[in-house]
Amino acid sequence: MTAHVRPGVFFERPANLPRGRHQLSREQVQGAQRERLMVAFTELLADRGYASVRIGDIAKRAAISSQSFYEVFANKEDCALAAYDHFIEVLARSAPAGLASSESWREYIQAMVGGFFRGLTADPVVARAFLLEIDAAGATARQRRREAIARLAEVGVNAQEALREKDPLLARRPFGVHLTSLYGLRQLACDALESTRNPDFEQLIPELVEWMVAGWYDPQ
């Protein structure tokens, strides 16, 4: 049986729309349909892989007609990119929040690495969908992934500069180092997902934090 996305982590799960006459606007109806379709797509993507997901299956799982699907999304790729963009946006919001609450590079790295892996732990269906399966959606999805990782790397560069004011021993590392460290985190998550359906991401956090903290201080 296809597993469900957990509401409140990356996606909400709107209630079924009322039948017959109601007071909802067209925008409200389509907003709820859009969320339900993205959730349905994500669940099917994680379970079957991109090539095996059909628009009719997405609509059926979302309890929406195929005609209504096309009123919200142009095609399957459009739905896939919307769902992936939403996933990335939720991840991206957590990075500046981690910086705002951090007084040291260690605190920032703990917040960033911990937030990433705990988010994946909280919703393994979303993790599998958008770390392992989304690349099969094509070149546009892969480009979105590269842009997202670069965006998070820029947050890291900004965090590094902000925290150097409090910790002058913190070294300046170029953008490429930040980028490489994020690709490393992603690859470890992918490896864990490929080895088991429900990986223990928590066990990865301590060593990764130590590695990323040590990498930003020059040997004395």
Note whether 182 and 132 are same-domain residues.
yes
Note whether 138 and 151 are same-domain residues.
yes
Q: How confident is the model over 134-152, as pLDDT tens digits? A: 999 999 999 999 999 999 9
Q: How confident is the model over 157-197, as pLDDT tens digits? A: 999 999 999 999 999 999 999 999 999 999 999 999 999 88
* pTM (predicted TM-score): 0.89
Q: Look over the chain and give the mean of its residue pLDDT values, rounded to a whole number.
A: 91
Note whether 90 and 184 are same-domain residues.
yes
* 139-164 vs 76-100: helix crossing angle, rounded to 10: 10
Burial class (CB in 10 A: 0-12, 13-18, 19+), 23: exposed
CATH of the domain at 51: 1.10.10.60
CATH of the domain at 117: 1.10.357
Q: Is residue 64 part of a domain?
A: yes
Burial class (CB in 10 A: 0-12, 13-18, 19+), 53: buried
Question: CB 210: neighbour CB atoms within 10 A?
Answer: 12
Note whether 85 and 183 are same-domain residues.
yes
Pick the closest to residue 12 from 26, 32, 29 (CA basis): 32
Note whether 192 and 141 are same-domain residues.
yes
Residue 154 has pLDDT above 70, yes or no: yes
Note whether 65 and 167 are same-domain residues.
no
User: How many separate domains does the chain show?
Assistant: 2
Q: Is residue 58 part of a domain?
A: yes
Q: Which domain holds residue 67?
A: 26-73
Residues 6+ apart with CB under 8 A from 195: none
Residue 78 has pLDDT above 60, yes or no: yes
Whether the CB-CB separation of 94 and 115 falls below 8 Å is answered with yes
Domain boundary among 15, 50, 73: 73
Whether the CB-CB separation of 65 and 26 falls below 8 Å is answered with no
Which amino acid, 49? Answer: G
Rounded Cα–Cα distance for residues 76 and 85 (Å): 14
Rounded Cα–Cα distance for residues 166 and 67 (Å): 57
Q: Is residue 17 part of a domain?
A: no
Residue 95 has pLDDT above 70, yes or no: no
Q: What is the structure's pLDDT at 135?
A: 94
Least confident window among 11-20, 106-115, 149-158, 210-219: 11-20
Q: Where are the alpha helices (DSSP H) in the chain?
A: 26-48, 55-61, 66-72, 76-100, 105-122, 124-127, 139-164, 175-195, 205-214
